[in-house]
């Protein structure tokens, strides 16, 4: 029983690891562009666009109806020879910046984008402050020195 449970958990873990690999593809191969280069470009663009129904998935990963429609739009634009910037601009003009999975750098998102650098800087400043002021051992008083000598002699 225990043994079988372990097998099941191993299988489950394997499935969890494999699932993203299996899921990241269009539902229907007929959706894909015939030219593999263009299809790869479309996938790269689509994976940066948020599925507005499931919200934390890209339109390439989602099987929602709207995501399928948006995938189709992306492929039409790519087939017309548009570049990534043009396709994303088309999407943003309809759905706003929220459709981009990574927000653009604007005044409103400056703090968000700057946070890693700020955190690193704060850490460095903190470390410098702490390490520069090495705690200095207070000099022993005469009384303490005498006691120390006494103790060392006892050994």
Binding interface with other proteins (CB under 8 A): 52-53, 55, 65-66, 69-70, 73, 93-96, 98-99, 126, 130, 133, 135, 137-138
Least separation in angstroms between residue 20's CB and other proteins is: 23
Q: Which is nearer to other proteins, 3 or 56 (CB)?
A: 56
Token couple for 10: 């191993």
**CB contact at 8 A, 50 and 98:** yes
CA atoms within 13 A on the CB side of 155: 4
The residue behind tokens 């919200």 is: 55
Q: Which is nearer to other proteins, 11 or 66 (CB)?
A: 66
CA–CA gap between residue 140 and residue 147 (Å, rounded): 10
Q: Which is nearer to other proteins, 32 or 52 (CB)?
A: 52
Least separation in angstroms between residue 65's CB and other proteins is: 6
Least separation in angstroms between residue 39's CB and other proteins is: 21
Query: Which residues, in sequence order, are CB contacts of 64 under 8 Å at separation 6+?
Result: 51, 53, 54
């Amino acid at each position: 029983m225990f043994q079988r449970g372990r097998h099941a958990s191993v299988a489950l873990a394997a499935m969890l690891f494999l699932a993203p690999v299996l899921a990241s593809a269009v539902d229907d191969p007929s959706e894909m562009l015939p030219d593999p280069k263009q299809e790869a470009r479309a996938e790269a663009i689509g994976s940066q666009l948020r599925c507005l129904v499931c919200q934390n998935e890209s339109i390439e990963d989602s099987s929602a109806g709207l995501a399928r429609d948006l995938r189709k739009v992306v492929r039409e634009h790519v087939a017309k020879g548009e570049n990534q910037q043009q396709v994303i601009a088309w999407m943003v003009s309809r759905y706003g910046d929220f459709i981009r999975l990574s927000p653009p750098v604007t005044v409103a998102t400056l703090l968000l984008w700057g946070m890693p650098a700020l955190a690193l800087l704060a850490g460095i400043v903190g470390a410098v402050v702490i390490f520069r002021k090495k705690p200095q051992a207070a000099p022993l008083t005469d009384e303490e020195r005498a006691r120390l000598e006494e103790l060392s002699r006892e050994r």
